[in-house]
Amino acid sequence: MDWKALVELLKGHVVFLQTHNFPDPDALASAYGMQVFLQAHGVKSIICYAGKIDKSSTKKMIEVFGINAVNIDDISDMDEQDYIVTMDSQKYNSNITDFPGNEVAAIDHHPTMIPCSYKYSDIRICGACSSIVTEYFIKSNTTLDTNTATALLYGLKMDTDSFNRGVTDFDIEMFSYLHKIADSQTIINLYHNNMEIDDLHAYGEAIKNIQIYENVGFAAISFDCPDALVAMISDFILGLDVVEFAVVYAKRNGGYKFSVRNETKFYHAGTVTQEALKDLGGGGGHFAMAGGMITADRISLLGNNPEFAIRQRFLDVIKKTKVSAEKEK
């Protein structure tokens, strides 16, 4: 990480901080934290995204912290001369739309699925992108106010499932720094009120449709629902005592949105998802968690029984992964 290089790169340009589509708390928090950091060093920026922010809990987060995130549909003057920093995502990922601007930098905590040449990149495997952004304040001795620290801590807490998923020593170190500055009561209020009545319908659908093959659980949701909710249901399915690998998917725009979770030592959620969906839309992520999608124009490749084909694709990849792991013993 070279914070000076990032600031110098962006100075004198129109700068957009682009999150992945349908941004979650970590994406919004890290983009907001970076916006505050850049502003402290004389660089103005605009947070932008594609898709929707439709969960009331995420909308509440935006309201509480005063985050101004603009949908691409409301930006009419972005052109190829403008600079984009992708936050909590990388160019060419299946979960980020290609905007007119020039993606000159990427700050992300996910593995790189499709290499891209940036003028600046800070891509590190850790629990949350909010952790990476926090370090920018520390290394540069930039003052971190309570509101921004609280937003970053909330993003860190949510993306690591309260430090139960994908957390690293680096995340713990950043948490320790943020905890001294953040407003803990705000965190409690946000964290304990993040489910809506309508969410119960998605949970009910997933419970009704769950299918388990040995230690792998699948659940399909027949209607569109927010990314964050699909992820929450995936965590919920993983909580079953017989499930160690969970695949949850919901219909969206004629295709499917996936959230995948893993707690075994044999499988890599990101690799399995990428391989299972490689010719259908794409996917990837961490060892413990991943996401993906099947686009509407690729649904026909699944045949007459798409859900059976989806399960078979994942199970085939998982079987090959387990066999390879056992051979290495």
pLDDT digits (tens, 9 = 90+) for 173-225: 999 999 999 999 999 888 776 677 778 889 999 999 899 998 999 999 988 88
Assess whether the region 3-191 and the region 200-327 belong to the same CATH fold. no
Q: Are the CB atoms for 107 and 87 separated by under 8 Å?
A: yes
SS3 190: helix
pTM for the predicted model, two decimal places: 0.77
Sign of the Cα pseudo-torsion (199, 200, 205, 206, in order): positive
pLDDT of residue 94: 77
Lowest mean pLDDT among 129-143, 145-159, 266-280: 266-280
Tokens linked to 136: 């920018």
Q: Are the CB atoms for 48 and 18 separated by under 8 Å?
A: yes
Topology annotation, domain 3-191: inorganic pyrophosphatase (n-terminal core) (3.90.1640)
In the chain, what are the domain boundaries? 3-191, 200-327
Which of these, 126, 151, 135, lies nearest to 26 by C-alpha position?
A: 151
Lowest mean pLDDT among 123-137, 188-202, 242-256, 259-273: 188-202
* CA distances in angstroms from 142 to 1, 87, 182, 315, listed in the order given: 15, 20, 16, 48
SS3 111: coil
Burial of 309 (0-12, 13-18, 19+ CB in 10 A): middle
Tokens linked to 248: 């949850």
In tens, the pLDDT along 39-56 reads: 999 999 999 999 888 777
Distance (Å, whole) CA 128 – CA 28 = 11
Query: If you search the block for the tokens 């993306």, which residue do you land on?
Result: 159
CATH for 200-327 is 3.10.310.40
Length of the chain: 329
Distance (Å, whole) CA 131 – CA 141 = 16
Query: If you search the block for the tokens 């930006």, which residue do you land on?
Result: 75
Burial of 159 (0-12, 13-18, 19+ CB in 10 A): buried
pLDDT of residue 287: 87
Q: What DSSP state is assigned to residue 220?
A: E
Main-chain phi, psi angles of 209, to 5 degrees: -100, 0
Distance (Å, whole) CA 109 – CA 66 = 24
Please say if the pLDDT value at position 284 is more than 80. yes
